[in-house]
Structure 1
C-alpha cells in the first residue's frame, strides 16, 4: 500500500483508536508497582503516541503532498528505469509519454471540453537530468480552429519536497485556468506542472551545482526545448512564464531574472529571495561566495542590470515570514523590470493561502504571455499597474510612504 493510499490512512486511524481503547482497558491491571507493570504502561503510552503521530503525519502529507511514496519519505527514491519508447526531437531532446490523468473538470473525458493532463518523462540533453512532468493542454489545443496555433506555456513548480500531483489535485491549477477561460479572463496556456526537485532527494533550489546536478540548465534549456518540440508551444521568452510556491516561487523569480532569454514572466507565491543552505541542500555553490551572491535576488537587484521581465510576488502581513523582504524586493525593483504584488492581510505558508492567490496570479501570468503569432501586432506585454480594490489583496506597489527603488538604500538594508 502506497504512502498516500486511503487504506494506509484508515489502517493508521484504526490502530490509533484500538491502542487508545486498549490502554484504557489495561491501565487498571498495570497499576501495580512492579517492573512488569511499569514497562507495560510505558509500552502502551509509547505505542499510542506513535500511532497518533503517524496518523496526523499521514493526514498532513495527504493534504499538502509533501511526499509521494515511502521511498520518497525515507530518501530512497530511485532514478527512473530504462526508457525504450522515446520520441527524439531534432536537438536530441527526449520526451516519453507515460499516460494521462483524470482531472475534476466538467466534461473531463472530452479533451475539447476540459483539456487533458498528460504525464511525461523529460530527459535533459544538456543537464543529463530526468524528471516527470504533468502537462495540461487546455481545451483549445484540441479544437479545430486552433489546430495551427502555437500556445504560450507556463512552468508550474511545487515547493520542497512537494509532489507534482498536488498541483492539479490540491492547488487545482488546470481547474482554475479552465474557469478563467470560461470567464474570458485568460488566454489558453499550456501548464507544465513539476517538482523543482529534479535530483531527489536533494533540494537543489534550481541551482547549477558545481560538480553536481545542473537543475537551472534543466529548467531554462532542456525542459523548454522538450516541450516546444513535442507540443505546439512557442520558443521565445515572450511565450514562456514560470509560477511556483515556496521553493518553487524562489525558482520562478530567480530563473526569470537570471534568464530573461528563457522566461519573460515569473510569479512567486510566498517565495524566498535566496537559497537556504541546510542538510537537504548541501553545499549548493561549491564554497564560492560570488556564486551564492549571484543567486541572491536582493543582491542581484542592487548589483546587476535589471532585466526586461515581469514579476509578481505574494505575501501576507500576518502569517508569512517573507513579508518585509517582499516589500524590500518590490522597492528595489528598477526599470525595465516590472513588478506587481498580491498582499493578503493574513495567511500562512500553506495550500489554503496559495489557493486564495492562484486565480489572480494565474490571470496575471496568462495576461502577460504571448502566443507565437507573428502576424498579430506586437503589444507591450509588461504588467500594468492593477488598481482593483479589495480588502486583503493588492496588485500594485506599496503605498508611497515606502522608499522608492531608485533612491539610495541605508547601509543596514543592503544586506541580502
Structure 2
C-alpha cells in the first residue's frame, strides 16, 4: 500500500472511526488493577488513530512525502554532496527513463556539474508520440518545501489541465519536467548553489537541462524553456529566469516570494530578486500569481513590479479569494499555460 492514494486514506479513516467503537465495547470488560492502564491505552489509541487519519489526509492533499522511503528519509539520503565531474562531460550515471505513476517517466541520475544525484519526472504530451518528428518546448516544474515533484501530476493535475487547454486551443503542448529540489534532507535550499553545500541551481539549470535535451525532442534555445512553481517553487520559478536569462525565457510564480527565507541564504545578494531585476534588467518575462487572501504574497509581487524595467516584463494574476494551497494554484493553471504559450517558442 502506497503512502499516497485512497487505499491508505480509507484505511486510516476506518481505524479512526473503529477505534472509538472498540473503546466503548471494551471499556467495561477489563476489571481489577488492570482496568486503569487498559482504559488509558484505549484512549491513547483513539487519539493516535484520529491524528493518523488527519496526517494521512493532509499528506495525500499536499504530498509532503511521496513514499514510505521518502517518509523514512531514505530517498533524500541518495542525494549526496559530491565533487562535480569534468565540465561539459556527460552525466556520471545512466539516465534511463522508465514508466512511473500518472503517465510519467522517471529517472535517477547524477549531475556531472553539480554532483547531485536525484530523481526527475517527465510528462510527454500526447502529440509527442503522435508526431515523432516534432520538437517541443519545455517547462520545468517546482514544488514547495517540504514537497515532492509528483505533486504536479497528482494534486496539481498539471498534465490533465494542459491536455484540456491544448484541446481547447488556448495552450500549446509542452514537455513537463519535475526535478527534485529537496536534495539535502531537512534543509530548504531554495534552488540555490548553497555555499559549502549542494549546488542546486547548477543541478536545475545545467544537469537536468542537459539530460532532458539529450533524451527528448526539445526545441533548442532559451526561448523554448520556461519555469513554473508554487510557494518555495514559485521563488525558484522566478529566480532561474532572472539569474539565467540565457537559458530561460519565462517563468510563472504561484504564491511565491522573491527573497530567500532560509538562514544563511538571506545574505546572498544575487538571491534578492528585486535587487537583481533592478540592476541587471534581464530580458525575461515573469507571471506573478497569487490570491489576495494569501498573506504576504501580494506585497512581494508589488515589490517585483516596482523593481522591473524593460526589457524585463512582469505580468500579475491575482485572484480575490483562496489560501496557500494546491486547490487555489491548480485553478490558476489554465491562464498560466495560456500565458506561457504567448512567451515560449511554438512546437514544430
TM over 0.5: yes
Q: 1:227 to 1:138 in 2, by over 3 A?
A: same
Q: Residues 16 and 211 (structure 1 numbering): CA distance in 2 closer, same or farther, change over 3 Å?
A: same
Contact 1:129-1:199 within 8 A present in 2 as well: no
CA shift digits 1:199-245 (9 cap, x unpaired):
34432110101111100001111111111122121342111111011
- Partner in structure 2 of residue 268 of structure 1: 253
Bigger relative contact order, structure 1 or 2, given CA contacts below 8 A and separation 6+? 2
Among residues 302, 306, 326, which one is paired with 1:351 in the alignment?
326
Instruction: Deviation per CA, 1:15-44: give whole Å up to 9, x if none.
Output: 3223211333344678x9x98555444332
Could you tell me how far apart the structure 2 residues matched to 1:95 and 1:284 are?
A: 32
CA shift at 1:92, angstroms?
A: 1.0
Aligned pairs (5 A) from 1:42-53: 42-53=40-51
Contact 1:151 1:371 in 2 (8 A): yes
- Of stretches 175-184 and 6-15 in structure 1, the one that deviates more from structure 2 is 6-15
TM-score (norm 1): 0.74
- Which residue of the partner structure matches residue 299 of structure 1? 275
Q: 1:150 aligned to 2:135?
A: yes
- The 8 Å contact of residues 107 and 119 in structure 2, kept in 1 or not, is answered as yes
1:96 to 1:23, Cα distance in 2 relative to 1, 3 A? same
List aligned pairs for 1:71-220, cutoff 5 A: 71-77=69-75, 79-80=77-78, 91-93=89-91, 96-101=95-100, 103=102, 117-144=104-131, 147=133, 149-220=134-205
Task: Answer whether contact 1:187 1:367 (CA < 8 A) is retained.
Answer: no
Alignment CA distance shift 1:35-1:307 (3 Å): farther
Match of 2:217 in 1: 232
Match of 2:60 among 36, 59, 62: 62
Pairs aligned (count): 339
**Aligned partners of 1:366 and 1:124: how far apart in 2?**
30
- Sort the Cα spacing of 1:27 and 1:298 in 2 relative to 1 into closer, same or farther, 3 A: farther
Please list every run of at least 4 consecutive aligned residues from structure 1 whose deviation after the TM superposition is greater than 6 angstroms.
Answer: none
Question: Is the counterpart of residue 241 in structure 1 residue 226 in structure 2?
Answer: yes
Higher helix proportion, which one? 2
Q: Are the structure 2 counterparts of residues 76 and 229 from structure 1 closer, same or farther at C-alpha, using a change threshold of 3 Å?
A: closer
Structure 2 contact 105–121 (Cα < 8 Å) conserved? yes
Cα shift at 1:263: 0.9
Provide the TM-score with structure 2 as the length reference: 0.88
Alignment partner, residue 82 of structure 2:
none
- Measured in 2, the distance between the counterparts of 1:183 and 1:8 equals 36
User: How far off its partner does 1:169 sit?
Assistant: 1.9
Structure 2: unaligned runs, 5 residues or longer: 80-87
Any unmatched runs of 5+ in structure 1? 82-89, 104-115, 374-416
